[in-house]
């Protein structure tokens, strides 16, 4: 498990250093602004949805390594997926990072998350859970057509 943790840590650092899809989209159908005042993480997410599928996604902003790598991993994970699949993926990811310390998360659940599973360990650091979920809350707000801004202090 410690080898796996090390691998996951490197993945997080790598995404923080070279975030995927870190750009403004020329054309988008949805976008939203997300802010985590507890840490100062602040991102904007743009999505281009066609026929219910996320054709393209981009994000920009600033924040801690956890928030930026989570946003980067999210964009890589959701591109090409349907909106319904993305919401299901978020439900799984959110359930994992909200699992109480001491409670078991099945290995199969973490494996099903792919690279997002690298962030499963944040559940042991409650202050960082909102950093890891910020980009996702922002994406869901964009997809729901909120088209505005969300704060982790209003959305949990
Ligand atoms: Zn943060």
Per-residue pLDDT at 87: 94
Give the Cβ contact number of residue 74 at 10 Å.
Answer: 30
Q: pLDDT under 70 in the chain at which residues?
A: 1-2, 146-147, 154-156
Per-residue pLDDT at 3: 74
Ligand 1 centre from 50 Cα, in Å?
A: 31
Ligand 1 centre from 52 Cα, in Å?
A: 30
Per-residue pLDDT at 147: 62
Per-residue pLDDT at 119: 94
Output the pTM of the full model: 0.92
Please tell us whether the domain made up of 2-155 is placed in CATH 3.90.1010.10.
yes
**Each residue's pLDDT tens digit, 44-73:** 999 999 999 999 999 999 999 999 999 999
């Amino acid at each position: 498990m410690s080898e796996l943790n090390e691998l996951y840590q490197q993945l997080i650092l790598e995404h923080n250093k070279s975030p995927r899809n870190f750009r403004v989209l020329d054309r988008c159908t949805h976008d939203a602004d997300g802010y985590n005042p507890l840490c100062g993480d602040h991102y904007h997410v743009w999505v281009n949805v066609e026929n219910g599928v996320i054709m393209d996604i981009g994000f920009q902003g600033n924040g801690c390594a956890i928030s930026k790598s989570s946003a980067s991993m999210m964009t890589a994970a959701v591109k090409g997926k349907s909106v319904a699949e993305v919401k299901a993926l978020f439900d799984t990811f959110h359930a994992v990072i909200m699992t109480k310390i001491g409670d078991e998360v099945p290995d199969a659940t973490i494996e099903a998350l792919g690279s997002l599973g690298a962030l499963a360990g944040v559940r042991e650091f409650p202050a960082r859970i909102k950093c890891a979920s910020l980009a996702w809350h922002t994406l869901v707000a964009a997809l729901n057509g909120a088209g505005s801004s969300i704060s982790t202090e209003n959305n949990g």
